[in-house]
Structure formats: C-alpha cells, structure tokens
C-alpha cells in the first residue's frame, strides 16, 4: 500500500455531509491511488490487492465483455465473501448487481456509473443502506447536477468524473476541453463537505511522463490522487501528489512561525501567513508524516477540521468523528 494507506476502518457510513458546510480540502488519510481490476479476472483482482494501491476497484462495467457480466458478478461475490486487508470497491454494471453485492463483508464501497440526478443516488442508497457510495459523473447533465449529486445522501462519500464517456458526450478532442468540468466537480465536492475528488484514469499505461504531467495539472486544480488501470502507474501518482522536500521545508517554516506568534504575520522572505496558510501547511506536514518524512513535534497535528463532525476518511467510506493523528 502507498505511504498514505492505513488499516481498513469499516465499510458502513455514519452521518452524511452537511451541504455547504465545507470539509478538509485534502485530508491526509484520503487514498491517493485507486486501482481498477476486471471483475471477470479474479486472479488479476487478487494481484491488485497486493499492488500497493490504497483502494482496489473491481470493475463490472467497461472492463468486462457483455457475455461475461454474469460470471464477473458471481466471481466478485465469491471474492468479497471474505474481508481483505485492502479496501475493495465495486463499479457496478447495473443496479441489479447491488442486491448480490451489498450484504458481502468484503465490500467497502460502490462506484455508481452514469449518475445524472440526485434521485439516482436515492434509489441506489435504498438498495444498499449504509454502504459508501461514489457516484461517477460521465455526462454533461451529470456535471450540471454535480453539487446536487454530491449532497444527495449521507451515504455519498466522494464523487469523480468518468472522463472517457464525458469526453464523448461533449465532443471534446483536446484535454483542455475538460478543464471546466474538472473544476466543477472539485468545487461541488468541496461545497458538499466531501474529500477532493481523485482524477480519472490515464488510459495509456506506457506513457508515464504524460501521466505525471496530468497528475501535476490535477493537483494544481484541487484533485487529490488518481484512479489507475495498471500497477506501474501507482508510484507515478504517489510521487505527483506527495509534497516535495521544498514544500515540506516551507510548511515547517510556516508552522514554526505560527507557533510563536498569533494572528497574521509575515515571514522573513515576505510570505504572508494567516490561518488559511497555516492550515495548508499542517496538511502538507501531515502528508509528509504519512509518507515517513519526520516533522517537528509541534507540527504533527493537522489543522482543526473546517466542517462539522470532523474530517472524512474515504478509504472505506468511514466518517472520523475525532481529529486524526497523522
């Protein structure tokens, strides 16, 4: 598992998001890597569980041929009859898959494709009470309804774009054509007190330079982590989203200054520091600590959560009521 991984906290959800309340923009316990594996290849799914991914997503939709959908569902149900050390989610093909999957002890969340309205989430939540839901926004209509979907139900623990279908729906040829929908989903997640969304997959498993460049762009836009389709993509994603040594040093300086002076202040190099800057510095140091980088004792605690009820741990859809330790 990546440096940000931790033990599975359980799959059932508690209190839901408070619409408009806001939440920690990049909570250090949120997963960085989400690895897809085809549901009709249980051997590949088992390999994915030992790949180092923070979350494994068993895909019953695009990765499975139509004539193998039934087998994929049965194989996934057999696999999830047991609890696994890595959180396992399933991207369902149809709501008809959910009654088979929802009671299984090894299931930590459902990825729900092609969601367009909040009412879609209400229907899914009735089929899987208390199970963490992750709607995928894959059309122009879904993007227009992004906040309503994100805030639709307490079981929603994150949202993300399905960029392949969205690209086709919009007729977009250049990657920059998706900048507005990407920004929209980041804002919607933030407004609904959800963790920052993970980026959609990079489809070329050989072009790791393009993957790294795309991750850097996503990080600058407010995403946190990325879905992957091959284990070789995982370390690239981790490197892109973990803080650099220069960022860690700058954060240490901010936190140290804030520990000695209250209120807004200016550092010797001219940087202005207020509460928001200090909060961001704490997040950087929390991420560094999770990655094994030592931080000063006074800098180990993350900032106070912005939303009510504490920050969200989306590793398995669990709401942390208390301040986290990392």
pLDDT of residue 121: 98
Sign, Cα dihedral of 81, 86, 92, 93: negative
19-to-12, 16, 43, 188 alpha-carbon distances in Å = 20, 9, 41, 10
pLDDT of residue 27: 54
Element containing residue 169 per DSSP (H, E): helix 163-170
- Tens digit of each residue's pLDDT (9 = 90 or more) over 180-200: 999 999 999 999 999 999 999
- Tens digit of each residue's pLDDT (9 = 90 or more) over 226-237: 999 999 999 999
- 315 Cβ partners below 8 Å, 6+ apart? 5, 6, 8, 9, 29, 30, 31, 54, 55, 87, 108
Given pLDDT bands bounded at 50, 70 and 90, which one contains residue 256?
Answer: confident
**Measured distance CA(176)–CA(150) in Å, rounded:** 24
Q: Can you tell me the mean pLDDT for 135-163?
A: 98
**Measured distance CA(120)–CA(116) in Å, rounded:** 7
What are φ and ψ of residue 100, in 5° steps?
A: -70, -35
Question: How far out from the chain centre does Cα 222 lie?
Answer: 12
Q: Which of 106-115, 289-298, 307-316 is modeled with the greatest confidence?
A: 106-115
Residue 307 has pLDDT above 90, yes or no: no
**Measured distance CA(167)–CA(86) in Å, rounded:** 31
**Crossing angle of the two packed helices 208-221 and 179-191, in degrees rounded to 10:** 50
């Amino acid at each position: 598992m990546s440096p940000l991984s931790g033990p599975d906290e359980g799959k059932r959800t508690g209190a839901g998001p408070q619409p408009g309340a806001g939440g920690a923009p990049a909570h250090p316990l949120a997963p960085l890597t989400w690895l897809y594996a085809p549901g009709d290849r249980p051997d590949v799914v088992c390999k994915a569980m030992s790949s180092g991914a923070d979350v494994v997503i068993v895909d019953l939709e695009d990765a499975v041929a139509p004539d193998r959908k039934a087998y994929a569902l049965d194989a996934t149900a057999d696999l999830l009859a047991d609890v696994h050390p890595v959180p396992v989610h399933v991207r369902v093909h149809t709501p008809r898959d959910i009654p088979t999957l929802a009671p299984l002890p090894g299931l930590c969340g459902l990825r729900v494709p092609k969601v367009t309205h909040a009412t879609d989430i209400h229907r899914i939540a009735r089929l899987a009470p208390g199970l963490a839901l992750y709607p995928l926004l894959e059309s122009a209509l879904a993007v227009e309804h992004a906040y309503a979907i994100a805030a639709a139900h307490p079981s929603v623990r994150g949202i993300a774009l399905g960029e392949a279908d969205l690209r086709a729906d919009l007729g977009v040829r250049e990657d920059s054509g998706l900048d507005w929908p990407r920004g929209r989903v980041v804002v919607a997640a933030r407004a609904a007190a959800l963790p920052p969304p993970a980026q959609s997959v990079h489809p070329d498993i050989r072009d790791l330079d393009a993957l790294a460049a795309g991750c850097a762009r996503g990080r600058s836009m407010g995403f946190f982590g990325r879905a992957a389709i091959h284990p070789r993509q995982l370390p690239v994603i981790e490197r892109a989203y973990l803080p650099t040594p220069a960022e860690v040093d700058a954060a240490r300086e901010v936190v140290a200054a804030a520990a000695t002076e209250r209120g807004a202040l200016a550092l010797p190099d001219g940087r202005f520091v207020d509460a928001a800057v200090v909060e961001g510095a704490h997040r950087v140091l929390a991420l560094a600590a999770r990655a094994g980088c030592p931080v000063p004792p006074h800098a180990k605690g993350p900032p106070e959560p912005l939303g009510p009820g504490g920050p969200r741990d989306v590793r398995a859809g669990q709401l942390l009521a208390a301040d986290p330790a990392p």
